[in-house]
Structure 1
Amino acid sequence: MNVFERFSGKVLPADWSWINEPAEWRFDDSKSLQISAPSQADFFRDPSGAAIKSSAPFLHTTLQGDFTIWTRVRVDMKQPYDSGCLMMMADDTHWAKLCFEYFESTPSILSVVTRDTSDDCISGAMDVSNPYLRVARAGNCFAFHYSSDGQHWKLARYFGMNVPNQLKVGVVAQSPVGEGCAVTFDALTITNHVCEDIRNVE
């Protein structure tokens, strides 16, 4: 089920809220979410200690236990690292995101896993302008997948993180070094069904 069917204009259901609500966002007539990421907006905790950023708009709900969430995203890429992401968060120092991002002048799939400090993993270039992103949880194991068509999925990341049963989960728009960018999420589907092996998509 596309949970965005419950949304309209700039009105959120009671179980959804913003961290870093942006000045410009709305749900259009097709129930797509449009976000204008502010300048320098990002979530990243540099392992060198050079920068800690937690300023990107994050629209989220709270999920209990296992889940699968997927979306389709488009990004008006202008500056390096402009991106739209799926994100799950336990707290400020334990979170992870899967992103469609402008990396080295190429639309690409990247992911970040943060356990006190963040890593940065590049999965590769995308050949479409509106890929699908997917996050699955089974206990303390997580799998990140991406797809060009929503049918054939590639595994970007499989990792463990000791986190509570309850997590914030949703979408992020960011422009870490740019002057801002427009991000559109065409749908957002959430289910408590997970594959027996979350590294696979059935």
Structure 2
Amino acid sequence: MKKLFCVLCLALVMTGCSQSNKPESVSPNTASRETKPATGTSPATNADSPGPVPSAGERIDRPVEVSFEPSGFPPDWKWLDPDRADNPTKYDLKSGGLRIELPTGKDLFGENRTAPRLLKTIAGDFEIETKVRFDPRESYQGAGLLVFRNDSNYLRLERGFGGLGGGDNGIRLDIREDEAYEPLATPEKFPTDAPTVELRLRRIGREFTAFWRPPGGEWKEVARYAPNYPETVQVGLIACNTAGPLPVEFGYIKLAPPVR
């Protein structure tokens, strides 16, 4: 009897040891929560990577004036500074406009796609207008409006100095279609040394029309261009500089349905 009791006690002890050595089970959901790394994109990465144009854009059905506030950029506008890590572009919004301290080496030409820009995704027909305070003195320095499909397809309307096709101070319109880059208008054809100009781009269907004027003057057509762009593109401001550092200030952005 004593032997039987000892055998039972030994069996109970062995069973307890076996259970204490068994790993604790973890439900799949618990394991996932404990081991899954944090996700998300840092603000710097999100702000500095152009990426693809979103498929959905805002339709402009009434006039809108976009103002700049010290608290930050307007909603739905994205600031891009592609080489921020190596050559950051300083800016401020304190004056009620967008003032940029433009360093050298910033461009959107060839393989250099480092120009700072402020963009909004828009669908359909529209007009965009801005006022640029800028005094370029070397080639190439330019600032103005950008319509951006992707890194290899865009158009630039700028108050600039020099650039492809010649000329000194003036207005220029440049386009890129895949590997081909072409000036449609140069400072030689549209000369001006005005420190402040107003620029406008109009889209109706496939056709884009560029205009410029001195403040309060009459609008002058620069050129027309009808690329095979999708309905949705990014539009906004751009500043380029491959010469000495200089400031540029954008006074406002106006969006409106196009005048037909």
TM-score of the aligned structures, taking structure 1 as reference length = 0.84
For residues 9 and 126 of structure 1, the distance between their equivalents in structure 2, rounded to whole angstroms, comes to: 31
Q: Is the 8 A contact 1:145 1:157 kept in 2?
A: yes
Matches within 5 A, 1:18-57: 18-20=79-81, 22-29=88-95, 31-45=96-110, 52-57=111-116
Equivalent position SS for 1:125: coil
Aligned to 1:115: 177
Shift of 1:172: 0.8
Higher helix share: 2
Structure index of larger Rg: 2
Higher strand share: 1
Matched, 1:2 2:68: no
For residues 216 and 177 of structure 2, the distance between their equivalents in structure 1, rounded to whole angstroms, comes to: 30
Shift of 1:150: 4.1
1:181 maps to amino acid: L
Equivalent position SS for 1:15: coil
CA pair 127-76 structure 1, distance change in 2 beyond 3 A: closer
Aligned to 1:93: 152
For residues 77 and 182 of structure 2, the distance between their equivalents in structure 1, rounded to whole angstroms, comes to: 28
Q: Is the 8 A contact 1:57 1:173 kept in 2?
A: yes
Q: Is the 8 A contact 1:60 1:169 kept in 2?
A: yes
Q: Specify every segment of 5 or more residues in structure 1 that has no aligned partner in the other structure, as ranges.
A: 46-51, 197-202
1:61 maps to amino acid: K
Q: Is the 8 A contact 1:135 1:144 kept in 2?
A: yes
Matched, 1:175 2:237: no
For residues 105 and 166 of structure 1, the distance between their equivalents in structure 2, rounded to whole angstroms, comes to: 33
Shift of 1:151: 4.1
| Structure 1 residue ranges, 4+ long, deviating more than 6 angstroms after superposition | none
Matched, 1:194 2:258: yes
Matching residue within 67, 74, 80 for 1:13: 74
RMSD of aligned Cα (Å): 1.8
Q: Is the 8 A contact 1:41 1:180 kept in 2?
A: no
Mean CA deviation greater in 77-86 or 62-71: 77-86
Aligned to 1:141: 207
TM-score of the aligned structures, taking structure 2 as reference length = 0.66
Number of residue-to-residue matches in the alignment: 185
Q: Is the 8 A contact 1:127 1:148 kept in 2?
A: no
Q: Is the 8 A contact 2:66 2:74 kept in 1?
A: no
Provide Cα deviations, 1:14-46, integer angstroms capped at 9, x if missing partner. Answer: 4111222643111123x111012221111113x
1:136 maps to amino acid: R
